Amino acid sequence: MNFKIAVVAGDGIGPEVMEENIKVLNAVGEKFGHKFEYEYVLGGGCAIDKYGEPLPQHTIDVCKASDSVLLGAVGGWQWDTLPGDKRPEKALLGLRGALGLYANLRPATLHQALAGACPLKPELVADGVDIMVVRELTGGMYFGEKGRKMTDMGEAAYDVEIYAKEEVRRIAKRGFEIAMQRNKHLTNVDKQNVLESSRLWRSVVLDVAKDYPEVELDHLYVDNASMQLIMRPTTFDVIVTSNIFGDILSDEASQMTGSIGMLPSASLGDGKLGMYEPVHGSAPDIAGKDIANPIATILSGAMMLKYSFKLDEEAKAIEDAVTKVLEQGYRTADIYSEGMKKVGTKEMGRLIRENL
Ligand code: NAD
């Protein structure tokens, strides 16, 4: 099969980790008989330097016309003094909006070889952590009405948590569909004992559940969910939740995995077009030194194969290759511990290709 992929490598370590991602994808293409065509476009600080804006229209057009988008990372100290809407990070929000991406997927997978880097007691994670947080990305309190007003307690500020039924329905559907692709267990997280918006959320989730009888559905209030995540992390499969709860819970879950250099993510809309990127930023402190961990970006490439192209076997080949390299004791500096074999960005990429 042929796939057209837009590549926004970005700034700092973005281009370095992206290069390894592309080489791994090409190796997968060769092995399984697919052709990936890449179109490189500018976004972030490098686009500001060349075009005076972080997200040129050309970049949006190319991304929209592609089957999927790969993003490295954007930002850096050179652009830190620019006003908010001119900053490199504008490229991320702008692309998510322009591409209609409303579902954010953040997996938290603890590789057994890195179990020592997990801050939880070994017995709590002995069965392996493999959680997928599906977070609503374009609604709720972060985008609701906000403002200031005077009250009898003085000046006050407010941010409105608001969800339309259709917004909940589409993210709930995504949650169930992803559960169907995994272990068929979905945990809905809300706060329906207190919030009206959560009561509507829960009723829509229950309604959507009727179309997915194979999925085991349970519900947790967000405060309880944050406790259960660290008490029994191995019992979770997919979590679906609102923008603000997902923001917090996905960061909590990610801490079980060892390093920010291990965390991929995906942003999806209605069609197959998605944007895949590591969770980390452009890490200007280590850029250009061949020491950045490329695994988060390479695993984002695997997510693209699985969720945009439905190439499950190919995605698993990448995930298995990463696991093997870690089991062989190879580590980039961020996940290094005594007795392991320290390698750079390029060498880590090469080892993953070798293990495919
Ligand atoms: P960061 O994620 O870039 O770095 C935080 C720390 O983690 C640094 O010490 C860095 O060296 C380390 N690190 C990050 N990725 C790593 C990797 N792959 N391998 C090894 N170590 C890694 O966050 P920051 O320092 O707060 O931000 C730097 C710039 O990135 C800022 O301009 C920020 O706005 C931007 N940023 C961009 C994104 C994005 O593009 N999605 C996300 C977060 C921050």
Catalytic residue ranges: 142, 191, 223, 247, 251
- The two tokens of residue 135 are 């977070």
- Euclidean distance between the first and the last CA atom of the chain, given in angstroms as a whole number: 19
Cβ–ligand 1 contact at 319 (below 6 Å): no
Name the closest-CA residue to atom 43, ligand 1: 281
Taking CA atoms only, the protein residue closest to ligand 1 atom 22 is: 261
Per-residue pLDDT band for 259 (boundaries 50, 70, 90) equals: confident
Q: Where are the alpha helices (H) located in 74-156, listed in sequence order?
A: 90-98, 122-125
**Quick check: 95 pLDDT over 90?**
yes
* Structure confidence at residue 128 (pLDDT): 87
197-246, pLDDT tens digit by residue? 999 999 999 999 999 999 999 999 999 999 999 999 999 999 999 999 99
Ligand 1 atom nearest 77 alpha carbon: 32
By DSSP bridging, strand 330-331 and strand 264-268 are unpaired
pLDDT higher than threshold 90 for residue 84: no
- With b meaning 16 or more CB within 10 Å and e meaning fewer, what string describes 248-276? ebbeebbebbbbbbbbbbbbbbeeebbbb
Burial zone of 142 (CB within 10 Å; 0-12 exposed, 13-18 middle, 19+ buried): middle
Q: Which residues of 226-247 are buried (b: 16+ CB within 10 A; e: fewer)?
A: beebbeebeebbbbbbbbbbbb
d(CA 151, CA 50): 48
Return the ligand 1 atom nearest residue 14 CA.
40
Q: What's the gap in Å between 212 CA and the centre of ligand 1?
A: 38
At a CB cut-off of 8 Å and minimum separation 6, what does 243 contact?
A: 135, 136, 137, 138, 139, 140, 141, 142, 143
Contact 269, 65 (CB under 8 A): no
Q: How high is the pLDDT of residue 44?
A: 97
Mean pLDDT of the chain: 96
The residues, ordered by sequence, that sit 6+ positions from 254 with a Cβ below 8 Å of its Cβ are 106, 108, 260, 263, 279
pLDDT 10s digits, 150-194: 999 999 999 999 999 999 999 999 999 999 999 999 999 999 999
pLDDT at 223: 98
**Rounded-to-integer distance, Cα 55 and Cα 91, Å:** 5
- Residue 135: band (very low, low, confident or very high) from pLDDT cuts 50, 70, 90: very high
What is the token pair recorded at 30? 């060769």
pLDDT of 304 higher than 90:
yes
Instruction: Using alpha carbons, select from 107, 136, 103, 102 the residue that is nearest to residue 236.
Output: 107
- With a pLDDT cut of 70, the percent of the chain lying above it is 100
Atom of ligand 1 nearest to the CA of 278: 41
Q: Whose CA is nearest to atom 40 of ligand 1?
A: 73
Closest CA to 130 of 345, 328, 323, 333: 323
**The dihedral of CA 194, 200, 202, 206: what is its sign?**
positive
Task: Calculate how far, in angstroms, residue 319's C-alpha sits from the geometric centre of ligand 1.
Answer: 23
- 261 Cβ inside 6 Å of ligand 1: yes
Beta bridge partners of residue 185, listed in sequence order: 216
Nearest CA to ligand 1 atom 20: 292
The preferred substitution site among 260, 262, 295 for testing ligand 1, maximizing ligand atoms within 8 Å of CB, is 260
Q: Whose CA is nearest to atom 25 of ligand 1?
A: 283
Q: Mean of the pLDDT values across residues 73-87?
A: 91
Give the model's pLDDT for residue 301: 98
